Amino acid sequence: MEYVRADFIDIHRDVNSVSTETMTSYERTLAALGRRLPDRAPVFCFCDQTSPGTSEGFRAHVSAHADVFSTRVLPFGFHCTGLDPARTVEPRDDGWTETTYRFAGDVSFSEISKAGEKADYIGYRKHMIESAADLEAILGLPWIPPASNPLLDAWLRELATFGARACRDGAFFRIAFLGPLGCLAGAVNPADFALLTIEHAGLVRRYLDTALERQAACLDAVLPRLDVPAIMNIGGAEYAIPPLMGPAAFRELVEPYDGRLIELMHRHGMPVYYHCHGKVRQFLPRFIAMGADGIHPLEPPGTTGDCDLAEVKREFGRDLCLIGNIQYDDLVRSTPREVERLVRAASEAARDGGGFILSPSCTPYHNPMPAAVERNIMAFIDAGLRYGAA
């Protein structure tokens, strides 16, 4: 199925009627996602007043100068079942941890993981799904529809309560989730997942079809009740691009599913950007066809990325908001002066005409955050303000 882009129309606020001298973070972000010209390029750093392991001075700087949002993950429940299983966490003698998820009927799933040297990053020695039988067992679990799910009601109440305090002066929420492929592939060893899609293609399709139906029902139930300023963020396609899988996997396992969800979110008036690490340059027309308003993080050419920002802006800037393309590891290793040079180069490549958001490639993973990294992120923000105006 082909998806044809329809220009996103802001139902929250007509940003064309807002003076560019008085734009809030939310208005500025909506303008950028709509490929319009804001007062300056928004500056995301994925930190706010609640960011753990950061200093008071850093949080104050972020609140005063960056375009601040709070991230919330949509609670689809365990593999889109709506279930919140009992879980036990048992440390092992070798430093790894085994987590077991238990359900009625003596059904359980387990994974063995270990926090990496980079704090919030996790490595897996045993993934939750190791065989077709595990996947069949997950599909055999019951489903709690959104109307009967107290998890969603509690989640919406928390957003409303927190938003009343935090969404002042233009702050907003980023509502994030993985599409069907991301939910499945993230629970399987990459090599096992490639074999699963070949040897049990019908079973994989059944999982994706089921997840799509349930995620769509959840979005239809939640978005009309979402009474806070927000943008949507979907991910998962990075599991279906080289070197993990060939290009055909994107058309078969991502587009028919995530494209439907983007279309649904647009029907509810929500702007949507896609998060996909890796060498995505050849897939940008497919993200446009799916209807994504923006793409993140557009990593520069090198080991992990292949996006020359100026080239991408020339070819796709009319159809996609470009979000990036500063590698977070550069914010870890560089000096403030080097950070400023990176930000200036990115801003000059993509800011003209709007449709650009300056952003690191990922959420900061240090907890606690070293003082040098705090200084570099503050330098990143300050440089974004300096060079972000067209």
Q: What pLDDT, on the 0 to 100 scale, is given for residue 82?
A: 97
Per-residue pLDDT of the chain (390 residues; tens, 9 = 90+): 343 343 443 434 444 445 456 899 999 999 999 999 999 999 999 999 889 999 999 999 999 999 999 999 999 999 999 999 999 999 988 889 999 999 999 999 999 998 765 445 568 899 999 999 999 999 999 999 999 999 999 999 999 999 999 998 899 999 999 999 999 999 999 889 989 999 999 999 999 999 999 999 999 999 999 999 999 999 999 999 988 888 999 999 999 999 999 999 999 999 999 999 999 999 999 999 999 999 999 999 998 999 999 999 999 999 999 999 999 999 999 999 999 999 999 999 999 999 999 999 999 988 899 999 999 999 999 999 999 986
- Going from N- to C-terminal start, the domains of the chain cover 15-82+143-387
Q: Select from 118, 234, 141 the least CA-distant residue to 183.
A: 234
* Residue 352: partners with Cβ closer than 8 Å, 6 or more residues away: 313, 390
Give me the sign of the Cα torsion angle 301, 304, 305, 306. positive
Q: What is the residue-wise DSSP string for 156-182?
A: HHHHHHHHHHH--TT-EEEEEEE-HHH
| 231-258 burial: b if 16+ Cβ within 10 Å, else e | bbbbbbbbbbbeeebeeebbebbbbbbb
Structure tokens that stand for 13 in this block: 């606020």
Q: What pLDDT, on the 0 to 100 scale, is given for residue 121?
A: 53
Q: What pLDDT, on the 0 to 100 scale, is given for residue 367?
A: 86
Q: What pLDDT, on the 0 to 100 scale, is given for residue 95?
A: 84
Measured distance CA(78)–CA(141) in Å, rounded: 10
Q: How long is the chain?
A: 390
Q: What is the pTM of this model?
A: 0.93
- CATH number, domain 15-82+143-387: 3.20.20.210
Q: What are phi and psi of 285, to 5 degrees?
A: -60, -30
